[in-house]
Amino acid sequence: MSGYVGRLAPSPTGALHIGNVRTFMVAWLRARACGGRILLRMEDLDHPRDKPGAAAQAIDDLRWLGFDWDAEYVQSARRPFYRAALDRLKRAGLVYPCVCSRRDVENAQSAPHAGEQLRYPGTCRGRFASWEAAAAIRPPCWRFLVQDHGTVRLEDAFAGEYMQDVAETLGDFPLARDVDGAGYTLAVVVDDAEMGVTEVVRGDDLLPATPGHILLQRALGLPTPVYCHLPLVVGPDGRRLAKRHGDTRIASYRAAGITAETIIGRIAASCGWGDGSPVRLAELLGEFSLDAMPHGIWVVDESSTERWKDDR
């Protein structure tokens, strides 16, 4: 048994679709191929976007596709961990409540270029004595006070070298919209460390957030895992796969009689493994390799997956 610990981290904000599954396949194969462990962590802190029933459906879909895992966690049951981390940051003077809207941040940034990230100019630094004082104005968020100037460098297992000066690009980034710190950014950093995750496999839309995660790990004295950011599956308009691109939900393919092996085989082919014939997830263990995986996006639309029905 190796010391590798990976994780599958679905958000129950919608149904599991082929974009999520492609990332989870790589995460699962990376762990199992080296005899490591894999965890399932339900990231259900995104109220009110979380959909009732979506967590149970995602678990059912994953099992049906052939995934298994060694432990299961639900973030909404882990609030004390996030509160403890937040308290440590408070004691170190590294968090503050902020009431700025996105518009406020945009207005403070002169002539942002298209696609450029919004850098938070620190408007609320030192402004409020407490969360409650901020909350009297507008629902606040906790921001991490970025002291470190200089480049954070990471060697991503798929994307390669990535560098970012967080103070220059993001500024003081948000941690959570919750008084106890129960929000994605703080939770992902606390949980990956607390669960002993050694490698994080996820979509590369999160790559620009990762240097911030690393600064947070350093502030909390937590280890930095290996990162492996994979290209997204997108619709014909180049945007992250979503409802507007048609129905690519696993549950809908199931209902249409498409088999798990067909779905796995087609997604595997998009990663450069196999010819697209139906295959079981575990059968890919001998075949998959990150080196074969294309670095570009995978464009999918409903009509391309319509053809999957021919394999029924």
Strand 37-42, strand 233-234: pairing:
unpaired
Cβ-based nearer residue to ligand GLU, 14 or 276: 14
In eight-state DSSP terms, residue 165 is E
Sort strands 160-165 and 151-156 into parallel, antiparallel or unpaired.
antiparallel
Q: Is the Cβ of residue 170 or residue 188 nearer to ligand GLU in the bound state?
A: 188
Do residues 234 and 270 touch, judged by C-beta distance below 8 A? Answer: no
**Measured distance CA(272)–CA(289) in Å, rounded:** 8
Binding pattern to ligand GLU, positions 189-228, x when CB under 6 A?
-------------x---x----------------------
- In Å, what is the CA distance from 13 to each residue of 17, 108, 141? 12, 31, 20
Burial of 297 (0-12, 13-18, 19+ CB in 10 A): middle
CB of 267 to ligand GLU, least distance (A): 17
Q: How many residues bind ligand GLU (CB under 6 A)?
A: 7
Between residue 100 and residue 139, which ones bind ligand GLU under the rule CB under 6 A?
A: none
Residue 301 corresponds to which amino acid?
Answer: D
Q: Which of 6, 10, 235, 246 binds ligand GLU (CB under 6 A)?
A: 10
Binding mask 171-190 for ligand GLU (x = CB under 6 A): -----------------x--
Tell me the torsion sign for CA atoms 70, 22, 154, 121: negative
Min CB(200)–ligand GLU separation in Å:
6
Beta bridge partners of 227: 200
Count other C-beta atoms under 10 Å from residue 242's C-beta.
14
Closest distance between ligand GLU and the C-beta of residue 22, in Å? 12
Percentage helix, strand, coil, to 5, in the chain?
Answer: 40, 20, 40
Query: Does 25 interact with ligand GLU (rule: CB under 6 A)?
Result: no
The residue type of 34 is: C
State which residue, 86 or 200, has the beta carbon closest to ligand GLU.
200
> Cβ atoms within 10 A of the Cβ of 229, count?
23
Among 5, 6, 11, 97, binds ligand GLU (CB under 6 A): 11
Of 9 and 98, CB closest to ligand GLU: 9
Report in angstroms the alpha-carbon separations of 79 from 56, 59, 118, 257.
Answer: 20, 22, 29, 40
Pairing outcome for strands 199-203 and 226-230: parallel
Q: Which of 4, 5, 6, 9 binds ligand GLU (CB under 6 A)?
A: 9
Question: Rule CB under 6 A: is residue 16 a binding residue for ligand GLU?
Answer: no
Segment contacting ligand GLU by CB under 6 A, of 8-16, 64-72, 173-181, 294-302? 8-16
Q: For ligand GLU, give the closer residue by CB, 201 or 279.
A: 201
Select from 3-11, 77-85, 145-153, 273-281 the region that touches ligand GLU (CB under 6 A): 3-11
For the bound state, the minimum distance from the C-beta of residue 202 to ligand GLU, rounded and expressed in Å, comes to 3
Give the H/E segment covering residue 37. strand 37-42
* Minimum separation from the CB atom of position 157 to ligand GLU (A): 14
* Binding footprint of ligand GLU on the chain (CB under 6 A): 9-11, 43, 188, 202, 206
